[in-house]
Structure 1
């Protein structure tokens, strides 16, 4: 026998995705519990049983997508050369920012940061911690590139990481405004070339990081 109030077809991953889509489109305060239960096909008691509260469901959705971005960082930071690190990070993130809307919404991270509600403090704290961890890992990678001689010793790993993080956040915000994937990839390519052009010499500067296809 299924749990009381919970439909037999309940799928937690699908439920989180549907909730995330609503939160992304309407904002936290603009999304009612009634809309959530309707979209998820669950009763109010089932929703509370599964997720605790609307605020906890929001935090769960935010955590789910923050984890996806962290995996993109991990994959990019494993690239052997800095141009590939920056290009892979920005390209991978843009692909995540601009999915088929039937799969999941746009960037939940930027959306969550913009929400000013006491109920969402846990979600905001989660975003801040995740962003800080990603930035620290990126800075560490730049330090390694300096130590290995790929970047000059005069390069500031922190300033470079801050720049890439700022570019990342700008791309995320632009995606939420409806800027297309192609436009975002072009912006990212320019940003990556600026970074590499400032940090490399002659031939490398002319070549720049790999172009997207």
Structure 2
């Protein structure tokens, strides 16, 4: 009996599986065995396709940010004011962090929990701080244009907004439902100047 051609490995589908595994368990708690089992390939094949675990994690985080976490960058690009950005983020976050058929929460928020790998920690803290920096710049621009009061601390307001999103993501991971997250978002929206 002749052997058929071996099935080709779908790299993008494998990346999506790895991303969901890291999203659900975090970098540290996801083992190479977990990854090879989920992707249906051997460890040498995984190394050939993606490099080591840290390299695969970085690629998975980039894919996550593009597909699921990009709502922050889209709001910054599309909304006319920093206040509108914040209100949009608060409105969208409860749904984003509690989607059916996806892990709860946010990979960028919790993916480095418990890790001792400084590169993984730097990657995610850099992404989180970068979002605060971009939002603070947007707030400063609104202060300069008179959209917001001169006494607004742009950095603190940006950090408050992102910390609220982080808290909502962690609450979703802990099982908090969408309805309660929407109430949290409404409180945060009222706190905005």
TM over 0.5: yes
Q: Which moved more, 1:167-176 or 1:72-81?
A: 72-81
Q: When the two structures are superposed, what TM-score results if normalisation uses the length of structure 2? A: 0.84
Please, which runs of 5 or more residues in structure 2 have no aligned partner?
A: 1-5
* Separation in 2, partners of 1:64, 1:178: 24
**Cα deviation, residue 49, structure 1:** 0.4
Tell me how far apart the structure 1 counterparts of residues 74 and 50 of structure 2 sit (CA, whole Å). 30
Partner of 2:139: 142
In the alignment, what sits opposite 1:13? 12
With a CA cutoff of 8 Å and minimum separation of 6, indicate the structure with the bigger relative contact order.
2
Q: Classify the secondary structure of the residue corresponding to 2:162.
A: helix
Instruction: Compute the RMSD of aligned alpha carbons.
Output: 2.2
Task: Tell me whether 1:55 sits opposite 2:54 in the alignment.
Answer: yes
- For the pair 1:185 / 2:182, whether they are aligned, the reply is yes
Residue segments in structure 1 that go unaligned for 5+ positions in a row: 1-5, 200-213
Shifted more, 42-51 versus 86-95: the winner is 86-95
TM-score if structure 1 supplies the norm length? 0.77
Check the 8 A contact 2:108/2:128 in 1, yes or no.
Answer: no
Shift of 1:164: 0.8
The verdict on how the C-alpha distance between 1:27 and 1:86 changes in structure 2, with shifts beyond 3 A counting, is closer
Checking the alignment, whether the CA contact within 8 Å between 1:20 and 1:104 is kept in structure 2 is no
Secondary structure of 1:16 counterpart? helix
Distance 1:70 1:21 in 2: 13
- Provide the residue aligned with 1:114 in structure 2: 113
Other-structure match for 1:95? 95
1:148-167 matches, cutoff 5 A: 148-167=145-164
Aligned to 2:63: 64
CA deviation profile, 1:62-105 (whole Å, cap 9, x unmatched):
2322344663222212311343211112333333322222x566
Q: 1:74 to 1:157 in 2, by over 3 A?
A: same
Shift of residue 189, structure 1, vs aligned partner? 1.6
Contact 1:91–1:185 (CA under 8 A) maintained in structure 2: yes
Contact 1:82 1:145 survives alignment (8 Å): yes
